Structure 1
Amino acid sequence: MLNVRAKPPWIDRSMPLLVGFVQAVTNRGAEWNQVDRAPVDLLGYALLLAGPAALFARRRHPVPTLLVSIVVTCVFIARGHAYGPVFLTPIIAAYNAVMLGHRRVTWAIWIATYVFLIVYMTWLAPVPTPGWFHDLAVAAIMGIVLATAEFARARKDRLAEREQVEKEEMRRQASEERLTMARELHDVLAHNISLIHVQASTALHLIDDHPEQARTALTTIKHASKDVLTEMRSVLNVLRDGAPRSPTAGLDRLDELVERSGLPVAKRVTGRARRVPPSVDRAGYRIVQEALTNVTRHAPGASVTILLDYGPDTLTIQVTDSGGNAPGESLGGGNGVPGMRERAAALGGTLTATPYGRGFRVEARLPILEEGEPV
Structure 2
Amino acid sequence: MQEQRADVPRRWPGPPWWNRESRGSRLPWRSTLLFTAFVIVGTHFSALNQKGERVDLGPLAYALLLVACGVLLWRQRHPVPVVFTTAVAAMVYLGAGYPYGPVVLTVAVGCFSALVAGRRKAAWTAVGVFWAGHVLVSHWLYRWLPPPGDSPPSWGQELVIATWVVAIVAMAELVRVRREQWARERAERAQAARRRADEERLRIARELHDVLAHSISVINVQAGVGLALLDSDPEQARTALTTIKAASKEALGEVRQVLDTLRTPDAAPRAPAPGLDRLPELVEQAASAGLTVTVEGEAPRLAPGTDLAAFRIVQEALTNVVRHSGSRRARVHVEAAEGVLRLRVDDDGPASGTDAGGSGNGLAGMRERATALGGTIEAGPRDDGGFRVLALLPLKAAAQESIERKEDV
When normalised by structure 1's length, the TM-score is 0.80
Counterpart CA distance in 1 for 2:13 and 2:162 is 32
Q: CA contact under 8 A between 1:328 and 1:355: conserved in structure 2?
A: no
Q: CA contact under 8 A between 1:331 and 1:337: conserved in structure 2?
A: no
Is 1:19 aligned to residue 44 of structure 2?
A: no
* CA shift digits 1:68-98 (9 cap, x unpaired): 3223322322232221211111101110011
Identify the residue that residue 270 of structure 1 maps to in structure 2: 298
Secondary structure of 2:382 counterpart = strand
Is 1:260 aligned to residue 285 of structure 2?
A: yes
Is 1:345 aligned to residue 371 of structure 2?
A: yes
Q: CA contact under 8 A between 2:293 and 2:329: conserved in structure 1?
A: yes
* CA shift digits 1:216-252 (9 cap, x unpaired): 221222233344455566667888x795798885315
Shift of 1:328: 7.9
Letter aligned with residue 259 of structure 1: E
Secondary structure of 2:377 counterpart = strand
Question: 1:139 and 1:17, CA in 2 relative to 1: closer, same or farther beyond 3 A?
Answer: same
Q: CA contact under 8 A between 1:187 and 1:286: conserved in structure 2?
A: yes
Question: 1:301 and 1:345, CA in 2 relative to 1: closer, same or farther beyond 3 A?
Answer: same
Letter aligned with residue 157 of structure 1: E
* CA shift digits 1:179-218 (9 cap, x unpaired): 3333333333332222112111222333344433322221
Q: CA contact under 8 A between 2:326 and 2:350: conserved in structure 1?
A: no
Identify the residue that residue 389 of structure 2 maps to in structure 1: 362
Is 1:108 aligned to residue 133 of structure 2?
A: no
Secondary structure of 1:317 counterpart = strand
Letter aligned with residue 137 of structure 2: Y
Is 1:225 aligned to residue 241 of structure 2?
A: no
When normalised by structure 2's length, the TM-score is 0.75
Shift of 1:8: 6.7
In structure 1, the gaps of 5 or more residues are none
Letter aligned with residue 364 of structure 1: A
Counterpart CA distance in 1 for 2:211 and 2:324 is 18
* CA shift digits 1:40-76 (9 cap, x unpaired): 3454344434422222221112222223322332232
Letter aligned with residue 303 of structure 2: V
Shift of 1:118: 0.4
Deviates more, 1:63-72 or 1:350-359: 350-359
In structure 2, the gaps of 5 or more residues are 1-10, 20-27, 404-409
The count of aligned residue pairs is 364
| Residue of structure 2 aligned with 1:250, choices 256, 261, 274 | 274
Question: 1:117 and 1:166, CA in 2 relative to 1: closer, same or farther beyond 3 A?
Answer: same
Identify the residue that residue 297 of structure 1 maps to in structure 2: 323
Q: CA contact under 8 A between 1:264 and 1:303: conserved in structure 2?
A: yes
Identify the residue that residue 72 of structure 2 maps to in structure 1: 55
Shift of 1:31: 3.3
| Residue of structure 1 aligned with 2:56, choices 30, 39, 42 | 39
Letter aligned with residue 221 of structure 1: I
Counterpart CA distance in 1 for 2:196 and 2:12 is 25
Secondary structure of 1:129 counterpart = coil
Counterpart CA distance in 1 for 2:267 and 2:356 is 32
Counterpart CA distance in 1 for 2:370 and 2:35 is 66
Question: 1:154 and 1:67, CA in 2 relative to 1: closer, same or farther beyond 3 A?
Answer: same
Question: 1:356 and 1:304, CA in 2 relative to 1: closer, same or farther beyond 3 A?
Answer: farther
Q: CA contact under 8 A between 1:320 and 1:356: conserved in structure 2?
A: no
User: Over aligned residues, Cα RMSD in angstroms?
Assistant: 3.6
Shift of 1:269: 5.5
Is 1:281 aligned to residue 307 of structure 2?
A: yes
Identify the residue that residue 22 of structure 2 maps to in structure 1: none
Counterpart CA distance in 1 for 2:264 and 2:114 is 41
Letter aligned with residue 390 of structure 2: E
Identify the residue that residue 207 of structure 1 maps to in structure 2: 230
